[in-house]
Structure 1
Amino acid sequence: VREERERERDKTVAEILSVVKTLRDEQDGMLEGMEEVRGEMKRLAEKVEAAQRAQEDLMQQELNNIRSQFREALLNRKPAPDYAPPPHPHPPAPPAEEGGREELQRDR
C-alpha cells in the first residue's frame, strides 16, 4: 500500500512538474514576444524621430533661405519717388459732436 501511494505521489509530482514546465515555456514565449514588440516599437519611434528631425531641418533651411532673400531685397531696395499710399476705401467718420455719446448714455 505504501509503495502504491509513493507511486501515485511520484506520478502526481511528475504531472505537476510537467504542467509547471509547460507554463514556464509559455511564459518565456510571451516574454520573448513582448521584447520583440518593444524592440519594434523602439525602432518605429526612432524612425519617426528621424523623419521629424529631417522635416525640421528642411523647414529651418527654407526659413533661412527666405530670411536671406528678404535681407537681399531690403538691401537692394530703392525708395519710390513721390510715393503716395492709395486712398482708404472708407473715408474716416466725421468727428463726434461734443457730449453726444455721453449725453445719450446719461439719458438712459
Structure 2
Amino acid sequence: MIKTKVTEMLGIKYPIVCGTMANISNPEFVAACSEAGACGVLASANYKTPEELREAIRKTQSLTSQPFAVNINLFPALMPQEKLGDFVDATLDEGVKIIETSG
C-alpha cells in the first residue's frame, strides 16, 4: 500500500485511477482494477438507460468489495442533458461514492 491523500480519500491501496475507456470499462474490468488496488471506473456512456447502468453497478459490486467510481459523461452527444440527473441518481442510489465526469 502507498499512503497518499488520494489513497486515503478513495480507500484504495495505490494512487491509481483506471480512467474510463468506452466499451472496455465494463464491470469485469472495473472490478479487476479495484481488486488490484486501484480505483476502477465504470463508463456510464456504455449504457443507454439508468436501469442498464444500475445493473452494471450491481454486477461490479458482486465482483468486488473494493471502491470503484462511475464516470458520468457530460458530452451532449453521449449524454442528453435531460437524462443526466437520472444517471447520477442511479449511481448514488446504488451506493457508489465516487463519481468522475468527462466531456
Q: TM-score, normalised by structure 2?
A: 0.16
Q: TM-score, normalised by structure 1?
A: 0.16
Which structure has greater helix proportion? 1
Choose between structure 1 and 2 for higher RCO, CA contacts under 8 A separated by at least 6 residues. 2
Which structure has greater strand proportion? 2
